[in-house]
Chain A
Amino acid sequence: MIIEFFSQLLRFVVLVLLQVLVLNNLQLPGVFNPYIYPLFLLLLPLRMPLWLLLLIGFLSGLTMDMFANTMGMHAAASVLLCFMRPQVLKLIEPSGGYELTDKPTLSHMGFRWFATYASILIVIHHLFFFFLETLEFGQVGFMLLKIIISTALSLLLILLIEFFFFSRKSR
């Protein structure tokens, strides 16, 4: 239990640092805005109660907001992701249901399952986040391009990170 807690915490710290020190500093054109920190929320234990999930989502979103000066936007998007997570898990439940030892990771559930799971939730998260950003700016065409490119890029990065780093440890 304690080991589980610290490994989750470590993953959170690593992802946040990677996000704010590397990805947020990529000097790329504005349409490239990948966010990988939601991977932390995807990998939280399967049977975590929803209220705890929501609180963790809110706090991790606020942490991102603090670094990115986007007060509240990451928090709102992360809370939505956490709220939708159980529904999505139910939607893509394997025919026999989840086992007690199952974890929502690539190595446990296979690539197809994890890719579907991550895609749905990341799209929800990014759509809501960029929607909130558009409210402020209102450049719809530019934002659509940004949503498509950034979401694709985030997903690619999340799958790569999960494949090469995180899931290797648990194998």
Chain B
Amino acid sequence: MRNIFSLLVRYHAFILFMLLEVSSIFLIFNNKSYHRAAFINSSSVISARVFGIYNNFIEYLHLTEENKRLADENALLHSQLKSSFYDGTYQTVTVNDSASKQLYKYIPAKVINITTNKLNNYITIDKGKNQGVDVKMAVIGPDGIVGIVKDVSADYASVISLLHSDFRVSARVGTSGNLGSLSWDGSSPEFAQLDEIPKQIKIANGDKIYTSGESKKFPEHILIGTISSFTPNTNDNFYDIEVKLSTNFRSISYVYVVNNLMKNEQETLEQRSQNDN
């Protein structure tokens, strides 16, 4: 017993070293899981507060640019209003539409911290549980998709950016083309990679890539980017496609969190039919 004790005293630093390393590595692998949130991350009180205060200062530097972007977006939305379409039909039928129900709700949020040059990039936003943000909700920006909420605190949330090794989204070439899977290879914050588009499909540089309705998180037809180059993969039946992202992650400062109001219903249904099999 005394031997063990003296051994502990003698090697206490080494034992402590091993203990701390093991717990660090435990934390790393615990955080790797896409669905499990780490218990300390950028949505936690201290770091989110620091980012928030800092953001209040530097926000002014980008005001002009941001106003222009918001104005552009407003113009685009205005042009989609019913009142801005010329009604060319002779006879109009008005349908009092009680069949359509709100499916997506958008929560506007301010980006208070964002990285683009890491291998796993995160975004911290200033809306959290109190404002209706919850984990696994989609985040989109004025120009296209941005990421998925990973963890929320009371008033902040940390978002897995599209520029993250775990990020996957089901995507479509054009509005009705083939389905593929979009991910990021870690090299450039301007490009992502689209996979699983079969070689026999005709695609061209400049083709637009949209979200498909397949993913329950993102609404359909949200722009992701355009094809900038593609090569047929020699090993399998698919193309390797480079997609130029429409969102500029280096300058984004406002985003919308998308709340799919019927996601629960869809998920329970799919769960149930899976269990039946």
**B21 & A79 in contact (Cβ 8 Å cutoff):** yes
Residues of chain A with a CB closer than 8 A to B12's CB: 51
Residues of chain B with a CB closer than 8 A to A79's CB: 17, 20-21, 24
Q: Closest Cβ of chain A: how far from B193's Cβ, in Å?
A: 13
Using an 8 Å CB-CB cutoff, how does the interface string of B36-73 with A read, 1 for contact, 0 for none?
Answer: 00101110101100110010000000000000000000
Name the CB-closest residue of B to A75. B24
**A66 & B119 in contact (Cβ 8 Å cutoff):** no
Contact A66-B40, Cβ < 8 Å, known A61-B24, A79-B21, A142-B186: yes
B170 within 8 A of A: no
Residues of chain B with a CB closer than 8 A to A132's CB: 25, 28
Q: Closest Cβ of chain A: how far from B262's Cβ, in Å?
A: 30
Using an 8 Å CB-CB cutoff, how does the interface string of A6-26 with B read, 1 for contact, 0 for none?
Answer: 000000000001001100111
**B27 & A72 in contact (Cβ 8 Å cutoff):** yes
- Interface residues of A, dominant DSSP: helix
**B117 & A17 in contact (Cβ 8 Å cutoff):** no
The one of B13, B51, B117 that contacts A27, using a Cβ cutoff of 8 Å: B117
Residues of chain A with a CB closer than 8 A to B90's CB: none
Using an 8 Å CB-CB cutoff, how does the interface string of A22-54 with B read, 1 for contact, 0 for none?
Answer: 001111111011000000000000000011001
The one of B21, B47, B165 that contacts A67, using a Cβ cutoff of 8 Å: B47
A71 within 8 A of B: yes
The one of A25, A55, A62, A76 that contacts B25, using a Cβ cutoff of 8 Å: A76
Q: Which stretch in A108-116, A133-141, A163-171 binds the other chain?
A: A133-141
Most B CB contacts (10 A, CB to CB) among A55, A57, A72, A83 go to A72
Most B CB contacts (10 A, CB to CB) among A24, A70, A139 go to A70
Contact A71-B42, Cβ < 8 Å, known A27-B117, A79-B21: no
B253 within 8 A of A: no
A117 within 8 A of B: no
**B42 & A136 in contact (Cβ 8 Å cutoff):** no
**A73 & B28 in contact (Cβ 8 Å cutoff):** yes
Most B CB contacts (10 A, CB to CB) among A65, A69, A142 go to A69
Residues of chain A with a CB closer than 8 A to B116's CB: 27
**A136 & B41 in contact (Cβ 8 Å cutoff):** no
Residues of chain B with a CB closer than 8 A to A160's CB: none
B105 within 8 A of A: no
B187 within 8 A of A: yes
List residues of chain A with CB under 8 Å of any chain B CB. Answer: 17, 20-21, 24-30, 32-33, 50-51, 54-55, 57-58, 61-62, 65-73, 75-76, 79-80, 83, 132-133, 136-137, 139, 142
List residues of chain B with CB under 8 Å of any chain A CB. Answer: 12-13, 16-17, 20-21, 23-28, 30-32, 38, 40-42, 44, 46-47, 50-51, 54, 113-120, 122, 158, 165, 185-189, 250
Can you list 30 residue pairs at the A/B interface with Cβ under 8 Å?
A: A20-B47, A21-B50, A26-B117, A27-B117, A28-B117, A29-B117, A51-B13, A51-B16, A54-B16, A65-B27, A65-B40, A66-B40, A69-B120, A70-B118, A71-B27, A71-B28, A72-B25, A72-B26, A72-B27, A75-B27, A76-B21, A76-B28, A79-B17, A79-B20, A79-B21, A136-B32, A137-B119, A139-B185, A139-B187, A142-B187
